[in-house]
Amino acid sequence: MRSLRLAGPVLALACALAAAACGVEPTRVADAGPAPVISARGAAGTIYLLRGGRLAPKNVTTASPAVEDLITALFEVGRQPGDGLGTALRGFRLEQSVLGRYGVDSGVRNDPENPVGLRLHVIVNGPGTLGRTAMAQITCTARLREEIWAVKITQTTPKGPLALGEHTCKEYHRLAAPSVNLPP
């Protein structure tokens, strides 16, 4: 009991000595200007949805101008497109999109002004097999970015991955809505 009576005054004395012994004098608040602010601006981009079963462009807001964010926006906006536009991606979910090199080293393309481009690998999951118009939406949206030369599409299934090939938008030009010019 006696140790408890001594503990209170000893603790108070220790706190007072610690505060006095630090040697730092308090200072006034100094104004250093406005606080730094992070700008969370999105970017604008174009995706392809369907009007009457044909590819039609739609401008959307994306997280950034990166092609991966455009593809993400395609799947998100496609859930509730509005504006009389639909999608062949309903029921499908984007699992991953990955950029890889595509060009001179692979011997596929030799463009002296831009010798190395990129291939976008899009991996989706969903019921049934991804149809031609759904692949056209993905491919033509990605090909709007000139650094993307080809789009490889894979669908995951319960039996494992299903490779749906490598595509360019040129193979889907017949799916364009009237007066719509699709990328190559």
Question: What band does 108 get if pLDDT is binned at 50, 70 and 90?
Answer: very low
State the pLDDT at residue 73. 94
119: its two tokens: 């291939």
Q: Which of 88, 111, 97 is nearest to 66 (CA)?
A: 97
State pLDDT tens for residues 138-182: 999 999 998 899 999 999 999 999 999 999 999 999 999 999 999
> Is 125 among the domain residues?
yes
What's the domain range around 108? 43-175
> Is 58 among the domain residues?
yes
> Is 5 among the domain residues?
no
> Is 73 among the domain residues?
yes
Q: How many domains does the chain have?
A: 1
State pLDDT tens for residues 15-74: 666 655 566 676 777 776 676 666 566 788 999 999 999 999 999 999 888 999 999 999
> Is 153 among the domain residues?
yes
> Is 71 among the domain residues?
yes
> Is 61 among the domain residues?
yes
> Is 31 among the domain residues?
no
**What's CA 114's distance to the chain center, in Å?**
24
State the pLDDT at residue 115. 57
pTM of the model: 0.72
Residue type, 141: T
